Amino acid sequence: MRLKIAKENLLNVLSHVVGAVERRHTLNILSNIKLQVTEQALTVTGSDLEVELVASTTLTDGACIHAGETTVPARKLMDICKSLPNGALIDLQVAEDQRCTLKSGNSRFVLGTLPAEDYPLLSTENSQGTQVHVTQRELKRLFEKTAFAMAVQDVRFYLTGTLLEIDENQLRAVTTDGHRLALCETLASSTTAQLIQAIVPRKAVGELQRLLSIEDQPLTLLIGRELLNVTIAIASKDQSDITVRFTTKLIDGKFPDYRRVIPRGGDKHVRIAHDVFKQSLQRVAILSNEKLRGVFLNFNEDTLQLRANNPEQDEAIEDLAIQYQNSPLEMSFNAQYLLDVLGAFDGNQVAMTMTEANQSVLVQDPEHTDQTYVVMPMRV
């Protein structure tokens, strides 16, 4: 195998797959990436057996000197490419002794390889499943508005991912860690009339967010029983477009019925200016208990008092003007949970709907009704 390619072109392809590769893996070969060179294209594969990324780009005439395939250490190849000067031409060659030699200018690097046929792949035949049609921008938005509420580590492993639910012409993303819940939905079309649910793992959500653009390009998600597939076309500045085939295993589990978690029929309604609320919370939270991060919200007619204190007897108090016409109410929240929700808002107003001090609160953006958030109060 031998290939001549510009540094930027190689780096561009590598950067799209290296996110799937773990630095240390029980299978040595999974610290490598698979390179496949043909007359027409360079294809690079990275995987950790949960998430698999396959990026391919068309090659210019004469770039492929000998077609072939191999696997090389991902991070080392990436770091070498990054360290080369801009505009450098890379000559990549695998000799008969299976050593990979990379030459550029006066530099020469020799890397160990492992056989390409030993590289484990997720089953590519996932033609069975439900097709969901949505734009890149909308899918990226679904993940961005909900990803913060995924559980980080939880014995309830199904909470460590994002639920994708297709229901007639609505595609929803739902996340919860038991303390808060985030939901965002968008219009999408699918090949089924049934309700379909798939739980996408945290790492896969992060990689998809990174790969998706804010363009209105159409995408087709293929949701099978065990895998989710999507092919993303990525336009490059230097005209060499890249196609990325993304595959992830789905989390096998039953996501809780989120509809039962969303409170209905709240009788206390609040409107608060978004930026003022967010900044006040950030200030008051400075003196909250470092572990619990608790902040008291005291609602009275058209005023809200934020209050926090800690074991060192420090105290912070701030008063805000709000729209509130119901009976007085005091609640306590983890400040970070509220700040995470406010960070997902694009509008200027925050609408909160409450019932009692110990009941969860519905937080919405009046300008974006396709987003719904629920935050549980702290027990004081």
* 57-107 pLDDT, tens digit each: 999 999 999 999 999 999 999 999 999 999 999 999 999 899 999 999 999
Residue 322 pLDDT? 97
d(CA 54, CA 16): 8
Q: Which residues of the chain have pLDDT under 50?
A: none
The dihedral built from the CA positions of residue 313, 319, 323 and 324, taken in this order, carries a sign that is positive
> Could you tell me which residues come within 8 angstroms of residue 30 by beta carbon, excluding any fewer than 6 positions away?
21, 22, 47, 48, 49, 120
How is 74-138 classified by DSSP, letter by letter?
Answer: HHHHHHHHHHSPTT-EEEEEE-TTSEEEEEETTEEEEEE-B-GGG---------SSEEEEEEHHH
Q: CB of 63 within 8 A of CB of 91?
A: no
Residue 126 pLDDT? 56
Q: CB of 160 within 8 A of CB of 201?
A: yes
CA dihedral 306, 310, 312, 316 (to 10 degrees): -10
Q: Give me the residue label for tokens 């919860």.
A: 176
User: From the centroid of its chain, how far is CA 26?
Assistant: 25
Residue 179 pLDDT? 95
Tens digit of each residue's pLDDT (9 = 90 or more) over 21-36: 988 888 999 999 999 9
Tens digit of each residue's pLDDT (9 = 90 or more) over 126-163: 567 899 999 999 999 999 999 999 999 888 999 999 99
Mean residue pLDDT across the chain: 94
How is 234-299 classified by DSSP, letter by letter?
Answer: E--TTS--EEEEEEEEPP-S----HHHHS-----EEEEEEHHHHHHHHHHHHTTS-TTT-EEEEEE
pTM equals: 0.93
Residue 324 pLDDT? 97
Q: CB of 240 within 8 A of CB of 9?
A: yes
* Residue 159 phi, psi dihedral angles, 5° rounding: -85, -10
- In DSSP terms, 2 is beta-bridged to 66, 93
Residue 168 pLDDT? 85
Label residue 66 exposed, middle or buried (CB < 10 Å: 0-12, 13-18, 19+). Answer: exposed
Residue 242 pLDDT? 93
